[in-house]
Amino acid sequence: MFGGSITALITPFQNGDLDERALQEFIDWQIQEGSDGVVPTGTTGESPTLSHEEHKRVVALCLEVAKGRVPVIAGTGSNSTTEAIDLTRHAKEAGADAALIVTPYYNKPTQEGLYRHYEAIATAVDLPIIIYNIPGRSIVDMSVETMARLAEIPNIVGVKDATADLARPLATRFAIGADFCQLSGEDATIGAFLGQGGHGCISVTSNVAPRLCSQMHKAWRERDLDRFAEIRDRLTPLHAALFSETSPGPVKYAASLLGKCTSETRLPLAPIAEASRVRVDEAMRSVGLLN
């Protein structure tokens, strides 16, 4: 079972190329700060702009530095089932603990198409699979009923739920059972998500506040609800600032303030506006991440 604070890793760039040193140092810092897992090559890692070679390289670099200290859940999704199988097969061969596979974007498959897409991947590659349901980016929303069908396949083990529908985790729990891993994909909803039966969060905010995010989940597990609420409230302005523009623009700028990498993104993502930079600066200071 995956749970706690799992970081949806940014991918550092330097002059348009992968910054491999910054990436590995960043992952090591994440682990030292207490993150419960890492996700390379997801949406926050700008996977749509990575070549296949770069994508596989990022996964390999992540596994090289993680060395089994925390789970590595590789993003391997695509709107092409064949491509998703290839990326998932590479993740398996490289030693990843699981694959995070987004619902196919742009194609707008039916619920039956969604079922067959994930069934084909799970059949082709014997690796734990977490469904990434994010209607805001992929347009399609996997129903609880379809997810329950897929959960009957042994290596489909959970969901990253970015629907922001806080009735969904409870409905999923009733339909599939408590052992089906439910991870929030929305930092700002984490308190309610955990209260509705969730197990953790694949987080954008933990890129820049890994220790606080880890401590918040630890407080939840220990039922120290006062401490949990204190950290939750402290992080709330930061969550908002990091989504002031399309992610990962703001969080990469925030990471640059910490000296972890440049703020570079790849087109079509542009540098964030001055107003957004001011907002991120202020939020980082309010949380205590900058002097």
For 237-287, what is each residue's pLDDT tens digit? 999 999 999 999 999 999 999 999 999 999 999 999 999 999 999 999 999
Contacts of 282 (CB under 8 A, 6+ apart): 237, 241
| CA 164 vs CA 134, 136, 167, 175, 236: distances in Å | 9, 10, 9, 18, 15
Residue at 128 is within a domain: yes
The pTM assigned to this predicted structure is: 0.96
Mean of pLDDT over the chain: 97
CA angle 185, 188, 189 (to 5 degrees): 70
**Is there a contact between 154 and 179 (Cβ–Cβ < 8 Å)?**
no
Three-state secondary structure call for residue 235? helix
Residue 89 included in any domain: yes
What is the set of active-site residues? 132, 160
Is 234 a domain residue? no
Q: Domain limits at 96? A: 4-223
Which stretches of 238-282 are assigned E, i.e. beta strand?
A: none
Going from the C-alpha of 220 to that of each of 99, 100, 229, 232, the distances in angstroms are: 26, 24, 9, 10
Name the DSSP letter for residue 166. Answer: T
Domain count, the chain: 1
Q: Is residue 254 part of a domain?
A: no
Please work out, in degrees rounded to the nearest 5, the angle formed at the alpha carbon of residue 218 by the alpha carbons of 75 and 235.
75
Q: Looking at residue 209, which CATH number applies to its domain? A: 3.20.20.70
User: Could you tell me the pLDDT band of residue 34, with boundaries at 50, 70 and 90?
Assistant: very high
**In-domain check, residue 290:** no
pLDDT at 185 over 90: yes
Residue 66 falls within a domain, yes or no? yes
Using CA atoms, how far residue 225 sits from 5, 18, 211, 234, in Å, is 16, 41, 17, 14
> Does the residue 25 lie in any domain?
yes
Report the SS3 class of residue 19.
coil
Mean local confidence (pLDDT), 58-78: 98
Give the integer Cα–Cα distance in Å for 193 and 199: 8
Structure confidence at residue 291 as a pLDDT band (50, 70, 90): confident
Whether residue 149 is contained in a domain is answered as: yes
